[in-house]
Amino acid sequence: MSLDLMSLERAVIAAPPGLDAAAALGQPASTLVRGGAFLFVSGLVAVDPATGQRAPGTTMSETRLILANLKRMLEAAGSSMDKVVKVNVLLASMLEAVPMNDVYATFFPDPPPARTVCGARLPDGCRVMIECTALA
């Protein structure tokens, strides 16, 4: 791939209303940033798009909400779920990897993106956090 000026561009992309959790929670982070050919998405937690507030629940409900929000924000940015190349899933408990995977499988096309899943200590009692890299 040739390196032209476009491919070196960096741009902060505004998330749709209600989905810019990083800004709503006062975090020094942008929810979506484009760099070169890629779109980098901050770690997302479950947020109700109607209110912009956190929506804590089960691993399954949080996964469903996060991925529905991710789909909307990727599409608003001109990308899509089938352009996702890599997903990192952080779970409060690896015991819940199977229910996460069951919900996850309904959101991504076939063949799915590359993915890493791990258990981690998440802030604010979140059960799930998902970050991803997509083609812009």
Partner 1 sequence: MRDVISAPAPGLDFRRHYGHHQSPAIRAGGLIFCSGMLPIDPETGERQHGTLTSEAHCIFRNLKLLLESAGSSLDRLVQVHALIYDSIEYDVLNRVYRHYVANGPPARTVWTAQSEAGFKIQLDVVAAA
Interface ranges with partner 1 (CB under 8 A): 1, 36-38, 82-83, 85-88, 90, 93-94, 97, 101, 104-105, 108, 111-120, 133, 135
What is the nearest approach in angstroms of partner 1 to the Cβ of residue 108?
Answer: 6
What is the nearest approach in angstroms of partner 1 to the Cβ of residue 73?
Answer: 19
| DSSP secondary structure letter of residue 8 | G
In angstroms, what CA-CA distances link 57 with 60, 83, 96?
8, 28, 13
What is the nearest approach in angstroms of partner 1 to the Cβ of residue 134?
Answer: 9
> What is the residue whose two structure tokens read 């804590």?
56
Q: How far is 91 from 33, CA to CA, in rounded Å?
A: 23
Q: How far is 56 from 131, CA to CA, in rounded Å?
A: 17
Which of residues 17 and 36 has its CB atom nearest to partner 1 in the complex? 36
What is the nearest approach in angstroms of partner 1 to the Cβ of residue 35?
Answer: 10
Which of residues 27 and 101 has its CB atom nearest to partner 1 in the complex? 101
Which of residues 53 and 88 has its CB atom nearest to partner 1 in the complex? 88
Phi and psi torsions of 11, nearest 5°: -145, 135
Which of residues 60 and 97 has its CB atom nearest to partner 1 in the complex? 97
What is the nearest approach in angstroms of partner 1 to the Cβ of residue 8?
Answer: 12
In angstroms, what CA-CA distances link 114 with 20, 51, 57, 82, 134?
25, 31, 26, 12, 11
**E strand spans, 10-83:** 10-13, 32-35, 38-44
Which of residues 11 and 48 has its CB atom nearest to partner 1 in the complex? 11
